[in-house]
Amino acid sequence: MNDHPLCGRWTGTYTYGNEYDEPLRGKTVTFEMELTVVNGFIKGKCTDAESTPHFEAPATIEGLMVDDSTVRFVKRYPHYWQHEKTGPRFLPKFPSQEINYSGEFNNNELEGEWEIVTVLVDIQGEMVTYRGKGHWVMKKLVDELTS
């Protein structure tokens, strides 16, 4: 049994930052995450209110405990998707983008920032980089066995 404080079920929100156009800017999305930690390595699964209806499997989580209070992990959806001005765009033949999360652990709560970098080639063949950032926070759910 792994009794690391990060292990277990979490619920939280992520919020889109100022880099996003309306109506995404400031939009908050709820999520649930199930995490395990072995030798400092974090693994897990994540579902959220925004993307889950479009995928048959949850997003994956992989990362590490940087120290006793700092985490870094990457979230990957089952395939590529992004927001565009006309709405979400799903491309099942392409791999997921990596969403990089970093945060601080304190009193059964994690809080931090996330960033997603998209690199595309435009019609002239030039590489274009888009960065999206935001904030996230999550709280550990009370285990049914301890309640």
Calculate the alpha carbon distances from 94 to 78, 108, 115, 128, 136 in Å: 9, 36, 19, 18, 26
Q: Cβ(60)–Cβ(35) under 8 Å?
A: no
- d(CA 112, CA 99) in angstroms, rounded, equals 13
Dump pLDDT digits (tens) for 5-48: 889 999 999 999 999 988 899 999 999 999 999 999 999 999 99
pLDDT higher than 70, residue 3: no
| Peptide bond just before 23 cis, omega within 30 deg | yes
- d(CA 97, CA 127) in angstroms, rounded, equals 16
> How do the domains of the chain map onto residue ranges?
8-139
What is the model's pTM? 0.88
Calculate the alpha carbon distances from 23 to 74, 85, 96, 107 in Å: 25, 9, 23, 33
CATH of 8-139, one of 1.10.4030.10, 3.90.1200.10, 2.40.128.120, 2.70.150.10: 2.40.128.120
